[in-house]
């Protein structure tokens, strides 16, 4: 199916839709009230997080239940850079966050990719719990339960300009990072490398028989996914000016899976839509059910798993992968 799609190239309709959505997101700060502006930025960050785990769930066919480890390490890496270096530097924070996430991802990938299916899920879950326990109990370095707080770094290019982030500035910065990440991930999934990942999902023994080194591809896939999850962690840290152990807890990994299933796996944009859908539901239901919003959300999620396994955007999966 995909080879045909590659031959014909992306359709005009797809790019029109893409431009409209990005333009709408860019214009969002002008029309939305203050609360929803922040909300839109948050959707983008969680959307990037969801997209990163789609590489594993949707394209390579491995469900990671430990994505919070990468998110959290990105967060704590950024925090470390922002606290250690004066004045705080945005690019350094991103670099350190990404390196931290990449190291953890390499470590997790090395062990977990030897396993398949639920064993992979359980191993990633256990690894994220290990990092959670380390971060939670190593109070001297990580601040333990209280986490770390820091000041927001300004946006700047050394020697050229430095401006502090405004609410809109942050939104556009996040939008820029997310759009670039999306285009990069899209390009990767359509490259020969991405095709191999999808063939692992469809038929692993055959992929191996053709001569691909499946384990190596899986390791790279986990690392790639972890890297972008780390990037979303960095963005979240910059937006909220703190790093907390709660974000390494397995519930965050669970949310990544929920985003994917709700939005539609294997589409990259589906998980972003899933994140938006989830956060909106959370917002609406917390006004009715307060902190128990996960009761209706959990029910809806379970019903979707049973009745709409392809997710909200799953029906357009082919068009979105052109």
Q: Which of 119, 151, 184, 216 binds other proteins (CB under 8 A)?
A: 119
Decide if 280 contacts 35 (C-beta within 8 A). Answer: no
Degrees, nearest 5: CA angle 293-296-302 = 130
In the complex, least distance from residue 299 CB atom to other proteins, rounded to whole angstroms: 6
Reference 321, options 218, 187, 192; nearest CA is 187
Q: Which of 5, 22, 103, 122 binds other proteins (CB under 8 A)?
A: 122
Decide if 71 contacts 230 (C-beta within 8 A). Answer: yes
Q: Which stretch binds other proteins (CB under 8 A): 79-87, 109-117, 200-208, 217-225?
A: 109-117
Q: Which stretch binds other proteins (CB under 8 A): 76-84, 154-162, 272-280, 302-310?
A: 302-310
Q: Confirm or reject binding of residue 298 to other proteins (CB under 8 A).
A: yes
Q: How many residues bind other proteins (CB under 8 A)?
A: 38
In the complex, least distance from residue 166 CB atom to other proteins, rounded to whole angstroms: 36
Degrees, nearest 5: CA angle 272-277-281 = 150
Q: Confirm or reject binding of residue 309 to other proteins (CB under 8 A).
A: yes
In the complex, least distance from residue 313 CB atom to other proteins, rounded to whole angstroms: 17
Per-residue x/- track, 8-27, other proteins (CB under 8 A): --------------------
For 130-161, letters b (16+ CB in 10 Å) and e give ebbeebbeeeeebbeeebbebebbebeeeeee
Per-residue x/- track, 57-76, other proteins (CB under 8 A): ------x-x-----------
Which two three-digit tokens encode residue 15?
A: 């790019």
Reference 89, options 38, 1, 162; nearest CA is 162
In the complex, least distance from residue 107 CB atom to other proteins, rounded to whole angstroms: 11
Which two three-digit tokens encode residue 203?
A: 């038929």
Which two three-digit tokens encode residue 310?
A: 């392809």
Binding residues for other proteins, per CB under 8 A? Answer: 63, 65, 111, 114-115, 117-119, 121-123, 125-127, 129-130, 133-134, 136-137, 250, 254, 257, 261, 289, 291-295, 297-299, 301-302, 305-306, 309
């Amino acid at each position: 199916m995909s080879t045909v799609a590659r031959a014909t190239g992306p359709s005009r309709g797809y790019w029109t839709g893409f431009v409209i959505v990005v333009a709408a997101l860019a214009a969002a700060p002008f029309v939305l009230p203050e609360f929803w502006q922040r909300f839109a930025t948050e959707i983008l960050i969680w959307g990037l997080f969801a997209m990163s785990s789609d590489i594993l769930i949707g394209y390579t066919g491995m469900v990671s239940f430990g994505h919070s480890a990468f998110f959290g390490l990105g967060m704590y890496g950024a925090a470390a850079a922002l606290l250690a270096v004066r004045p705080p530097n945005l690019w350094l924070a991103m670099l350190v966050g990404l390196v931290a996430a990449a190291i953890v991802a390499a470590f997790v990938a090395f062990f977990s990719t030897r396993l398949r299916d639920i064993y992979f899920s359980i191993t990633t879950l256990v690894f994220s719990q290990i990092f959670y326990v380390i971060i939670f109990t190593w109070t001297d370095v990580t601040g333990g339960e209280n986490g770390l707080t820091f000041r927001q770094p300004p946006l700047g290019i050394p020697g050229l300009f430095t401006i502090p982030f405004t609410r809109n500035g942050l939104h556009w910065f996040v939008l820029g990072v997310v759009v670039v990440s999306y285009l990069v991930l899209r390009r990767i999934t359509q490259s020969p490398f991405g095709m191999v990942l999808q063939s692992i999902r469809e038929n692993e023994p055959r992929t191996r028989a053709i001569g691909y080194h499946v384990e190596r591809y899986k390791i790279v896939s986990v690392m790639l996914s972890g890297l972008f999850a780390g990037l979303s962690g960095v963005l979240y840290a910059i937006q909220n000016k703190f790093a907390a152990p709660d974000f390494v807890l397995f519930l965050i990994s669970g949310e990544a899976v929920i985003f994917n299933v709700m939005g539609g796996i294997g589409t990259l944009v589906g998980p972003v839509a899933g994140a938006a859908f989830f956060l909106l539901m959370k917002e609406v239901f917390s006004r009715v059910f307060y902190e128990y919003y996960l009761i209706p959300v959990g029910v809806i999620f379970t019903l979707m798993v049973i009745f709409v396994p392809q997710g909200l955007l799953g029906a357009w999966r082919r068009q979105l992968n052109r």
